[in-house]
């Protein structure tokens, strides 16, 4: 989900890695930007099938387009939100590919893939570093704007720690779950963390000024955000309030 900040979190990536193909799902909207990014991964010249990351929604045309690229070896997901996973059973049916759930480092599509736990947006969020050349970030880092912390499953403390983990990856390109690819993971992670810290101060100030309920904080802190996004903003505010309560506890 994108917040009211709509600029990219880092410079845009000029070109995709040679092993990455983007097939974007036709589910554009306030929560999904241009649509869910389905990534197809395969080493150039490899006899292996594609690894599909985040098949996206249950849209037959989209899933047929993914399957048409060639044999699919396996399926990975970055987190369980339906706009990333609803199409998994159908793609598995079309291709016969299994859904992988690996920890650590593994080989897939002729590539070396490292799974990194990055909870925060959701409790099950995972990022994938491929060949030490790029990171698939799911919704932990988006190509444009900011993401939600989907309380109660999402947790702000975990999210900030995950941003620190991604910052330590350095200047790897980012292939996000929504929006355009970014050129620098560390820069994007720092941008996101600074944004979160600024939001926390705004939330603290709103509470000090008398905002009693999460929706009251939303009306103050997210006043410039389209009201269609307020339910998502309220989930993030609840995560922020829980974090502040824990952090400010004597």
As a residue count, the chain comes to: 250
List phi, psi (to 5°) of 122. -140, 165
**Separation CA 158–CA 161 (nearest Å):** 5
pLDDT digits (tens, 9 = 90+) for 19-55: 999 999 999 999 999 999 999 999 999 999 999 999 9
Structure tokens at 174: 């980012």
Q: Has this prediction a pTM greater than 0.85?
A: yes
* Residues in a beta bridge with 24: 37
The pLDDT of residue 5 is above 90: no
The CATH classification number of 20-191 equals: 3.60.15.10
Position 4 scores a pLDDT of 42
Most confident of 2-16, 62-76, 226-240: 62-76
**Separation CA 127–CA 135 (nearest Å):** 7
Position 1 scores a pLDDT of 42
**Separation CA 114–CA 103 (nearest Å):** 8
Position 246 scores a pLDDT of 87
Q: Indicate the average pLDDT of the chain.
A: 95
Q: How many helices and strands in the chain, by DSSP H and E?
A: 7, 9
Position 60 scores a pLDDT of 98
Strand duo 134-138 + 174-176: pairing: parallel
The C-alpha angle with vertex 83 and arms to 135 and 172, in degrees rounded to 5, equals 10
The pLDDT of residue 115 is above 80: yes
Would you place residue 6 in the very low, low, confident or very high pLDDT band (cuts 50, 70, 90)? low
User: In the chain, what are the domain boundaries?
Assistant: 20-191
């Amino acid at each position: 989900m994108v917040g009211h900040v709509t600029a990219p979190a880092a410079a845009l990536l000029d070109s995709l890695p040679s092993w990455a193909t983007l097939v974007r799902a036709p589910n554009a909207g306030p929560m999904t930007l241009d649509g869910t990014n389905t990534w197809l991964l395969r080493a150039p010249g490899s006899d292996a099938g594609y690894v599909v990351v985040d098949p996206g929604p249950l849209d037959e045309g989209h899933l047929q387009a993914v399957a048409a690229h060639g044999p699919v070896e396996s399926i990975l997901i970055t987190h369980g939100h339906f706009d990333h996973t609803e199409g998994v059973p159908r793609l598995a049916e079309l291709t016969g590919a299994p859904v992988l759930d690996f920890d650590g480092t593994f080989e897939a599509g002729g590539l070396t893939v490292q799974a990194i736990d990055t909870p925060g947006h959701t409790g099950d969020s995972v990022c994938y570093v491929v060949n030490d050349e790029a990171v698939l970030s799911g919704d932990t880092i988006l190509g444009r704007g900011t993401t939600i912390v989907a309380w109660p499953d999402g947790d702000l403390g975990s999210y900030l720690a995950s941003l620190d983990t991604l910052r330590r990856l350095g200047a790897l390109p980012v292939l996000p779950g929504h929006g355009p690819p970014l050129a620098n993971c560390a820069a994007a992670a720092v941008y996101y963390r600074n944004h979160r810290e600024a939001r926390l101060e705004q939330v603290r100030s709103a509470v000090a000024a008398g905002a009693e309920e999460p929706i009251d904080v939303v009306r103050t802190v997210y006043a410039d955000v389209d009201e269609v996004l307020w339910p998502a903003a309220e989930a993030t505010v609840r995560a922020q309030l829980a974090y502040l309560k824990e952090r400010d506890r004597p």
